[in-house]
Chains A and B, each alone.
Chain A
Amino acid sequence: MSLKIVVLAKQVPDTRNVGKDAMKEDGTINRAALPAIFNPEDLNALEQALRLKEQHPGSTVTLLTMGPPRAAEIIREGMFRGADGGIVLTDRAFAGADTLATSYALSCAVRKIAQYDIIIGGRQAIDGDTAQVGPQIAEKLGLPQVTYAEEILSIVDGKATIKRRLERGVETVTCPIPLVVTVNGSADECRPRNARLIQKYKYAKSPSEKAECECTRLYDERDYLNIAEWSVNDVDADLNQVGMAGSPTKVKTVENVVFQAKESKRLDGTDAEIDELIQELIANHTIG
């Protein structure tokens, strides 16, 4: 049986390289100031989706992301690795959303996609580390969820068998489809870009990107190069439930933390110094 697979992905600021202009005054992230990458665990999720596609001929993998128009970059990235296409959910009305408002908007987009057998996303994104959006989308769609997945072992007779990796062990569960799965970083890495797919999809563009070039004919002839872009109206979302307005949590303050500096003893690591240090630590019973 072929499957309609939706992969939830997020373009995230590379939090390993954060500059001082990374935060705006209102406490939200200034994404424009940072390098943007495909959220690592979403790539693990994509790999699981691509394997299902291979095991179930005729299946399709559709990427869904929410963000600014430039998030089309990760849709293309996913297509280079084997996804069939994707949708960028983008609208100024979504700005400033917390996890609940985000999951509401994404769930509206999934409803518009309408046909889906399994929705797979990364466990969490590296810019927030919350792990909330997957379960919240599941709840909003009235679907069961399997979080912390390490491997989707099979989907047979409408039932998925999934291995989960928890803090202190592993669990194998079954769950009827449709369902939402979130995938751990401990799952297999995503396959690399495929040269043939890069050739095929390198001109894939969203409407915002196409607006900058004069090449409408190409996109009329080759529909697979069209990356969809949906607004708040396209997904029939309630404006009161998206963006800042739809977010129950508010950022009260944001601080750069400065830790209380101690007066440190400075050593250069000579034998005499280390000998003395060890004697001191033994004398004050820090080490036995």
Chain B
Amino acid sequence: MNNLIVYCEIEDGIIADVSLELLTKGRTLANQLNCQLEALVIGSHLDGVEKQLYPYGVDIVYTADDSRLYPYTSLPHTAIVCGLFREITPQVCLMGATSIGRDLGPRVSSTLHSGLTADCTSLEIGPHEDKKAGKTYENLLYQIRPAFGGNIVATIVNPDCRPQMATVREGVMKKEIYDEAYQGKVVKLDVGKYVQDTDFVVEIIDRQMEKSKANIKGAPIVVAGGYGMGSKEGFDMLFDLAAVLGGEVGASRAAVDAGYCEHERQIGQTGVTVRPKLYIACGISGQIQHIAGMQESSIIISINNDANAPINTIADYVITGNVEDVIPKLIKYYKKNSK
């Protein structure tokens, strides 16, 4: 009771990375809260799924197994989540800020009248004092997120409603095995108890899932371009540099909005978070919402004709110059020196 639960997404029998990242974070938070870590998996053919989850320190795995529950649709998953939560009253619920979590989370929060904070970049436990009401709270979930185009960071709390719900984007938290030998238990839910036939009004008539083309999250080197690249053609140069160095191309929100690059390469609060060995920021000014997604890179090189671009303050190397001059030189001297 009053535990921390993670709604786990599953595709082709594999638990999504974002869910494992949330379990990793969830384990740390559960230890601070002195409560158990629970996972909820809704889908079909779930036998053995707990083996993927226990190593992350999961104490209880709830499964709702029914052929109609995969692929995801909103109403039956909402019904199961809400029905279960009414019974086990978790204090915290975490979901991925994916097209599933962002569809399900608000529906659940509305049903249960609980607060939900979207796209958190950090989660902490701490006290809260409501001076107006003269009340103090211990061990609340601090839901920390950039807001307002990334220009500010807000800490949100849900003092009175449970569960305290938050979504987090893929790649924001680190995925880490807690204990290979960790053992929890499985609780199989009686699907018919929660779901009615009328919940299946949405019918999926076609579904085409692709493997992601770009793997910028796992790339050791990321060459990222911003609005300063000037055009879609300007990005060709970045693909050349990335190919030579063995890296991937990323982009700022401004560059994606301008159509220079596809959305799946967007880095930042509304895109992917990356932690490569080397991050080369080309023509990126460094909006906070972008920096939030790359500041943990080991080495950062900024190439910008504005010597005072905000990103320069967190860069290890600042090259002041035009990207179209500097990038060909990087390629040229890499080729010369790597032989």
Binding site for B on A (CB under 8 A): 13, 15-16, 18, 22-23, 27, 29, 98-100, 103, 126-136, 138-140, 144-148, 161, 164, 166-176, 186, 247-257, 259-262, 264-269, 271, 273-275, 277-279, 281-282, 286-288
| Interface Cβ pair total, 8 Å cutoff | 247
CA separation between A170 and B206, bound complex, in Å? 8
A174 to chain B, nearest CB (A): 5
Q: Interface-forming stretch among B24-32, B35-43, B61-69, B97-105?
A: B97-105
Residues of chain B in range 69-83 having any CB-CB distance to chain A below 8 Å = 71, 73-75, 78
Q: Which residue of A lies closest to B244 (CB)?
A: A287
* List of A residues within 8 angstroms of B337 by Cβ: 275, 278-279, 282
Judged by DSSP, the binding face of A is mixed
Nearest chain A CB to B134's CB is how many angstroms away?
A: 15
| Cβ A267 vs Cβ B153 within 8 A | no
A175 touches B157 (CB 8 A): no
Q: How far is it, in angstroms, between the C-alpha of A173 and the C-alpha of B103 when the chains are bound?
A: 15
- From known contacts A130-B119, A176-B201, A268-B321, infer whether A147 and B246 are also in contact, taking CB-CB under 8 Å: no
- Residues of chain B lying within 8 A (CB to CB) of residue A27: 154
CB under 8 Å from chain A, chain B span 315-335: 315-322, 325-326, 329-330, 333-334
> In the complex, A74 Cα to B126 Cα: how many Å?
41
Besides A131-B102, A254-B153, 9 new A-B residue pairs in contact (Cβ under 8 A), listed by A number: A99-B106, A128-B118, A135-B107, A138-B107, A253-B155, A269-B322, A269-B326, A286-B299, A287-B338
CB nearest neighbor in A for B314: A259
In contact, A275 and B333 (Cβ under 8 angstroms): yes
- Which residues of A sit under 8 angstroms from B102, Cβ to Cβ? 131-132, 147
- Quick one: given A167-B99, A247-B115, A288-B246, are A261 and B313 in contact (CB under 8 Å)? yes
* A127 in contact with B201 given A100-B110, A252-B156, A287-B245 (CB within 8 Å): no
Looking at the assembled complex, report how far the CB atom of A272 sits from the nearest CB atom of chain B, in whole angstroms.
10
On chain B, the residues within 8 Å of A126 by CB distance are: 149
Q: Give min CB distance, A177 to chain B, whole Å.
A: 10
CA distance A35 to B337 in the complex (A): 51
List chain B residues, Cβ under 8 A from A247: 115
Query: What's the Cα separation between A282 and B292 when bound, in Å?
Result: 27
Give Cα A146 to B326, complex, Å. 47
Q: Report if B183 contacts A (CB, 8 A).
A: no
Contact: B277 with A135, CB < 8 Å? Answer: no
Chain B residue nearest in CB terms to A138: B107
Using an 8 Å CB-CB cutoff, how does the interface string of B176-213 with A read, 1 for contact, 0 for none?
Answer: 00000000000000000000000001111111111110
Tally of B interface residues using CB under 8 Å: 93
The answer on a CB contact under 8 Å between A249 and B157 is yes
Is the CB–CB distance between B154 and A251 below 8 Å?
yes
What are 12 pairs between A and B in contact, CB < 8 Å? A130-B106, A133-B106, A139-B110, A148-B103, A169-B208, A171-B206, A253-B154, A254-B147, A264-B312, A264-B315, A264-B318, A277-B333
B159: chain A residues at CB < 8 Å are: 250
Chain B contact residues, CB within 8 Å of chain A: 71, 73-75, 78, 98-99, 102-103, 105-107, 109-111, 113-119, 128, 130, 142-143, 146-149, 151-161, 201-212, 221, 245-246, 263-264, 269-270, 277-278, 288, 291-292, 295, 298-303, 307, 312-322, 325-326, 329-330, 333-334, 336-338
Q: How far is the CB of B244 from chain A (nearest CB, A)?
A: 9
Q: Which residues of A contact B301 (CB under 8 A)?
A: 277
Q: Which of A18, A103, A251, A286 has the most CB of B within 10 A?
A: A286
Residues of A within 8 A of B157 (CB): 249-250, 252
Residue in A22, A176, A281 whose CB lies within 8 Å of B278: A281
Beta-carbon contact of B118 and A130 below 8 Å: yes
- Of the residues B152, B160, B291, contact of A254 by C-beta under 8 Å: B152
Among B128, B149, B301, the one with the most A-chain Cβ atoms within 10 Å of its Cβ is B149
Task: With CB as the reference atom, state the residue of chain A lying closest to B210.
Answer: A169
B residues in contact with A133, CB < 8 Å: 106
How far does the alpha carbon of A128 sit from the alpha carbon of B201 in the complex, in Å?
A: 30
Chain A residues within 8 Å of B300, by CB: 262
A255 and B148 alpha carbons, distance in the complex (Å): 12
The residues of B that contact A22 with a CB separation of less than 8 Å are 148, 151
CB neighbours of A278 from chain B (8 A): 330, 333-334, 336-337
Nearest A residue to B205, CB-CB: A172
Q: Give the nearest-CB partner of A13 in chain B.
A: B148
Q: Which listed residue, A138, A174, A253, A259, touches B291 by the CB 8 Å rule?
A: A259
Question: Which A residues touch B105, using CB under 8 A?
Answer: 132, 135
Complex alpha-carbon distance, A235 and B17, angstroms: 44
Q: Considering only CB atoms, which chain B residue lies closest to A288 in the complex?
A: B246
The reply to whether B148 and A171 form a contact with Cβ atoms under 8 Å apart is no
Rounded to whole Å, the gap between the CB of A73 and the closest CB of chain B is: 21
Q: A147-B99, A166-B99, A169-B207 are in contact. Are A132 and B321 (CB under 8 A)?
A: no
In the complex, the answer to whether B161 meets A248 with C-beta atoms within 8 Å is yes
The residue on B at minimum CB distance from A172 is: B206
Instruction: Give Cα A271–Cα B278 distance, bound, in whole angstroms.
Output: 21
Identify the closest chain B residue to A18 (Cβ).
Answer: B151
- Please state if A250 and B319 are interface contacts (CB–CB under 8 Å): no
Interface centre among B113, B148, B161, B208 (most CB of A within 10 A): B148
